[in-house]
Chain A
Amino acid sequence: MSEPVRAEAAAEPTDGELDHENWGVLGELPGDLMMWVLIASELLVFGAALLAVLGVRAMDPAAFAADQALLDRTAGALNTIVLVTSGLCAALAVGAREAGSRAAARGWLAAACLLGVAFLAVKGFEYWDKASQGIGLETSPFFTFYYLITGFHAAHVIAGIVIFALVSVYDSVRNIVTAAAFWHMVDLVWVLLFPIIYLLR
């Protein structure tokens, strides 16, 4: 009885890595499993919030459309380009690090960070523009959702920039892959958020 237990124990990973081989389909997920738990959680939270936006819109579509028309769609489209480009930089950082080029990986991480800062600058400009028109969190249900959802997303962008800064220092392949996965999740949320908040009329 004790032999199989010992054999099983011997098969356990000892270096802190997850043993994906015995995890069935979970083992097919690339990278860190906990990052996938986070990605799924974030998608559920943002998904529920975006469906709530559409639900509130269904109750008063005319008022919603009037508020939505005040958004700067050009800034939103620009931010889409900025964020997907930063996602490409993050992917290139992973590729460079896996190829053993630490300097190139750091360069791509820095580029992704700079584009993240550019995203926040454009978002900040949008907020400033709305504030200068007297539009705040309590102006209307649409703007309450707008500020909460885009603000929560922007907080994730800030978190991503901090994580990239950290993995530029602690630059193991695993750390960079995990940080890039977080960034791609932020990217993914934006490509779903942008059409629903800015474009659907």
Chain B
Amino acid sequence: MLVVLSAATTVLTIAEAQGAWSIAVAAGVLVLAGGKSRVILASYLGLAGSRFWMRAINGAIAGFLMLAFGIFLIGWGG
């Protein structure tokens, strides 16, 4: 699954995106990073067994990625 998500990231970034499309690519790259981190947390770190911690840490990472995307947009607009 991680390799599939990594390959999807590669496909997404292989073309040099321009304009608004680059924003979509950035969002896609961060969503895929969130997907990969979810797989690592659930399957490898064993959090799949705890709904509380899975939600908490996934929420924290999703918040981090959204914040990263927000700051990216500030830079993109500037």
Which residue numbers of A lie inside 8 Å of B, CB to CB? 25, 28-31, 39, 43, 47, 50-51, 54-55, 57-59, 61, 64, 73, 77, 80-81, 84-85, 87-88, 90-91, 180-181, 184-185, 187-188, 191-192, 194-196, 199-201
B20 within 8 A of A: no
CA distance A195 to B31 in the complex (A): 10
A61, B68: Cβ atoms under 8 Å? Answer: no
Choice from B13, B40, B49, B68 contacting A191 with Cβ under 8 Å: B40
Pairwise interchain contact A192-B37, C-beta atoms closer than 8 A = yes
Chain A contact surface mostly: helix
Q: Is A81 in contact with B3, judged by CB distance below 8 angstroms? A: yes
Could you tell me if A73 and B78 are in contact, using CB atoms closer than 8 angstroms? no
Number of A-B contacts (CB under 8 A): 104
Q: Which 6 A-B pairs have the closest CB atoms?
A: A30-B46, A58-B75, A28-B50, A54-B71, A84-B2, A191-B36
Q: A77 and B6 in contact (CB under 8 A), knowing A191-B36, A199-B29?
A: yes
Let me know if A73 and B6 touch, CB within 8 A: no
